[in-house]
Structure 1
Amino acid sequence: MAVLFIFSVCYCGCEKEQSSILQGILKAGEITVYTRNNAHCYYLYREQATGFEYDLAKAFADHLGVKLKVKIAEKWEGMIPALMKGTGSFIAASLTIMPKRKKWVSFSNGYMPIQQYVIVHRNNRSIRCPEDLAGKTVHIREGTSYEERLNLLKNKGIDLEINLHDDLPTEELIRQVAEGKIEVTIADSNIALLNQRYYPQAVLACPISEQEFLGWAVNRNARNLLYRINCFFKTIKENGKFNEIYNKYYANIDTFDYVDLRAYHRRLKTRLPNYKEIIMEAADYHGFDWRLIAAQMYQESHFNPDAQSHSGAKGLMQLTSPTASSLGVENILNPEQNINAGVQHLKSLYDYFGKAKGLNRLFIALAAYNVGQGHILDAQNIAREMNLDPNKWSSLSITLPLLTYHKYYKKATYGYCRGTQPIEYINKIMIYYDILKRQGIEFKTYAKPNKEKKVDKKIRIAQQMD
């Protein structure tokens, strides 16, 4: 009886402690996340917090009805000790769920599958399987799951050397591979694929692990909090929120084209400077990020002012003759006139689809620029018939491709449409845009153009976007 009494007291005390952690968060109205400052976890863009892990953590805080406080760990290996001290609530930092780590923290259910890959320079054809690492020096950050996996390979008889770097980000090691400074590194598949657009000369050679999963970590005595995290992931995977966040960062990684991206990186230096001032002034006037316009322009013409499509669209922004004429363009191949008219046209489409919000509105406007406003209206009508939100790009991504089928386009006002084309168009623009954001290219800020002193008075500029 005494033993039972002691057990009951301990059990109740444990339950109380577990409950108090979650209750403390709810009472304080704030939850603290530990993460890392990098492209896939958390970073600031235009003074706004962003990043895949950050967006998930923010969604979880909203799910609980509390504010999110972010703590950046100075070193990767410092996150778990800091969590154990109770200075944070959970870790969201692309942590691989590992038995070794489970000795110290509890993990959520896996929310994203990954594999560890060997990363080499594109010209390196000497590594095609883990056994080819024999005699190679592999550079990795200290304290990662990569280190554990490489030691397992060494124990299996693969004579490789591990060079450990103190808290050097995996992205930096990928960059060093791309620049030929080191021969081999290891990266999780999500990190590797995300960085291919920035460092196209670094490629995935072969996997060295089976499928693993990323998870969030909490204190071992925070079972109630862990339960809420698992419920949260289940909910957002069912309602589409997880896919929305995932697609924001990773949807375009499979669109990687080495030859195209190499040309893009080169033309950012050789062609873009010829037009950057015009782009910046036009974009600023209409309220767009100039880098988005530059990305769209590259998709349209590869920064070639004499480009002409099979359909007759011409110039840097690929204007059709009717569109150019309606915007007062006298010389469609004049870069200044073509750019200003193209941005004005995009702005008019952005205004037209004003019922859509945020990125949905931008993507729908870009799609209309690509295939025409009429096809977008048809796709919206199909979305309504399918009980989908016609003002969500995720809905139109489903309905636009249907316009290639006779069953759908025979009833559409504007007929047949190559419905996959605008989806590919937007995916590529967002890749180019993302690269420009990461390039760190900074030009001087231009004031909004004076209406009395326009760059080209023949182009009618719409009012500044709110």
Structure 2
Amino acid sequence: MKQNRQLSRSRLCLKYLNSRPYLKATILFAAIAPLSLNVSQGHQVKQDLKPSNTLTVVAVQGPTTVFQQDGFTHGFGYDLARSYAKSMDLRLDLKTVKDNATALRWVKQGKAEFALSTASIAAIENAKLTAVEGSCGAQPILEKYGLDTNFSWVFKSAEDPLALTATGHLCQNKNTGTIQQLASFYDRNYVKESDMVKVDKDLQKRLPIYQASFKQSAKKHDLDWHFLAAIGYQESYLRPDSVSPTGVRGVMMLTSSTARAMGVKDRTDATQSIQGGAKYMQLMLDEYDHIPYPDRNWYALVAYNMGPGTVRSIRKRLERQGKNPDQWVNVYNYLERNQRANGRYRQAVQYVKRIRVYMEHIKSNELAQL
């Protein structure tokens, strides 16, 4: 009976939104937040998307939506859309366009089922489209982590079955803490702006020297070279003579045993170090070949930093707790919750988040130069 009342309220909200198609759907979220995805609604969505079983989503690249370059796709909005598509057993086809106006036009023309957008309410109103809050009313969380509070999923109309199922999915993610965890991981304030000035200077000065080696080694091991270069910067600031108190050294800060295993004879030789680091990273990625990208990259980074044995132990603990060890948000949440008690976990959180920031910075600079 309670669920029937909630469904009735949801339908009323949709009817209200349909009569006022420019209204952002805060009320809709409040009405259906307690609901999980309805099977019949999901079936209707799948029927509408046959025969391809593909969910086409359009977005403008940005810190809150998605980073997509050279086959490496990740981002706050992308992760939410990816989990939504998976919940519907659909293949996500995410397209990026140059600006929000183009993204909204795609939705209007039926080229995409919806848009991940940071467009203003006025722009969405002018396009006569319907938007739902991408954070399910959790704008304070987005603001805390430097993400755009205008983030929304934009649909052609409030009557679109996707609007209701997507809303339920987003609110479910809010209620389970997933939105909080994703926002924390994609924190735009994690590296201070003043620190990024130094990062930028370092990269401008040193990256051109080793860029060819990063590209060559990345290509050999099927990696994104920006990803590999970001690891190198986190490890050594791209200084081949770097040495840690524990004896790791070189651009990729390899231990002597890892260097030997990767065929590196001289760890202070930048080319050898980068080649060895790329080979070792590929081994870490192979350890998690059952986990889809981009999550596999984050697992591999934690393993690169802490060792695959530690990651296996964390995954077993999560499994005993009844949580899916193959979901990055669960591993990240475990590391973050326990980082005060375990310095290695704190280091791993810092390691992965900083590499993500550096990778995005390198990618953004390269795109700006095109």
Please give the TM-score of this superposition, normalised by the length of structure 1.
Answer: 0.55
Structure 2: unaligned runs, 5 residues or longer: 1-14, 20-42
Checking the alignment, whether the CA contact within 8 Å between 1:317 and 1:342 is kept in structure 2 is yes
Aligned equivalent of 1:158: none
- The structure with the largest strand share of the pair is 1
Aligned equivalent of 1:108: 132
SS of aligned partner of 1:108: strand
Q: Distance in 2 between matches of 1:36 and 1:66?
A: 18
Checking the alignment, whether the CA contact within 8 Å between 1:32 and 1:71 is kept in structure 2 is no
Q: Does 1:299 align with 2:234?
A: yes
Checking the alignment, whether the CA contact within 8 Å between 2:74 and 2:294 is kept in structure 1 is no
Q: Distance in 2 between matches of 1:34 and 1:400?
A: 31
Q: Does 1:232 align with 2:169?
A: yes
Aligned equivalent of 2:250: 315
- Residue 281 of structure 1: which of 216, 237, 243 is its match? 216
- Return the offset for 1:297: 0.5
Cα gap change, 1:336 to 1:441, in 2 (>3 Å): farther
Aligned equivalent of 1:425: 351
Pairs within 5 Å for 1:381-396: 381-396=316-331
Q: Does 1:363 align with 2:363?
A: no
- Return the offset for 1:89: 6.2
- Return the offset for 1:307: 0.9
Cα gap change, 1:270 to 1:392, in 2 (>3 Å): same
Aligned equivalent of 1:222: 159
Aligned equivalent of 2:118: 94
Q: Distance in 1 between matches of 2:95 and 2:146?
A: 26
- Return the offset for 1:315: 1.2
Cα gap change, 1:308 to 1:238, in 2 (>3 Å): same
- Residue 351 of structure 1: which of 286, 297, 305 is its match? 286
Moved more, 268-277 or 367-376: 367-376
Q: Distance in 1 between matches of 2:45 and 2:319?
A: 44
Cα gap change, 1:56 to 1:354, in 2 (>3 Å): closer
Checking the alignment, whether the CA contact within 8 Å between 1:304 and 1:315 is kept in structure 2 is yes
Structure 1: unaligned runs, 5 residues or longer: 1-13, 116-187, 196-211, 406-415, 444-466
Cα gap change, 1:288 to 1:442, in 2 (>3 Å): farther
Checking the alignment, whether the CA contact within 8 Å between 1:314 and 1:320 is kept in structure 2 is yes
Checking the alignment, whether the CA contact within 8 Å between 2:323 and 2:330 is kept in structure 1 is yes
- Return the offset for 1:283: 1.8
Q: Does 1:337 align with 2:272?
A: yes
Aligned equivalent of 1:260: 195
Cα gap change, 1:339 to 1:66, in 2 (>3 Å): closer
Q: Distance in 2 between matches of 1:383 and 1:59?
A: 19
Checking the alignment, whether the CA contact within 8 Å between 1:305 and 1:315 is kept in structure 2 is yes
SS of aligned partner of 2:295: helix
Cα gap change, 1:389 to 1:337, in 2 (>3 Å): same
**How well do the aligned residues superpose, as a CA RMSD in angstroms?**
4.7
Q: Distance in 1 between matches of 2:154 and 2:252?
A: 48
- CA distances 1:23-78 after superposition (whole Å, capped 9, x unpaired): 79944648998865342456753378876556655655665667778898997568
Cα gap change, 1:52 to 1:355, in 2 (>3 Å): closer
Q: Distance in 1 between matches of 2:45 and 2:286?
A: 46
- The structure with the largest helix share of the pair is 2
Cα gap change, 1:295 to 1:422, in 2 (>3 Å): same
Q: Distance in 1 between matches of 2:287 and 2:106?
A: 50
Q: Distance in 2 between matches of 1:398 and 1:72?
A: 29
Checking the alignment, whether the CA contact within 8 Å between 1:113 and 1:214 is kept in structure 2 is no
Q: Distance in 1 between matches of 2:361 and 2:200?
A: 9
Moved more, 422-431 or 80-89: 80-89
Q: Distance in 2 between matches of 1:34 and 1:356?
A: 22
Cα gap change, 1:269 to 1:378, in 2 (>3 Å): same
Cα gap change, 1:51 to 1:260, in 2 (>3 Å): closer
Sequence identity percentage: 21
Cα gap change, 1:334 to 1:245, in 2 (>3 Å): same
- The letter for the 2-side match of 1:302 is Y
Pairs within 5 Å for 1:118-129: none
Q: Does 1:251 align with 2:195?
A: no
- The letter for the 2-side match of 1:350 is L
Aligned equivalent of 1:269: 204
Checking the alignment, whether the CA contact within 8 Å between 2:339 and 2:346 is kept in structure 1 is no
Q: Does 1:380 align with 2:341?
A: no
- The letter for the 2-side match of 1:237 is K
- Return the offset for 1:438: 1.6
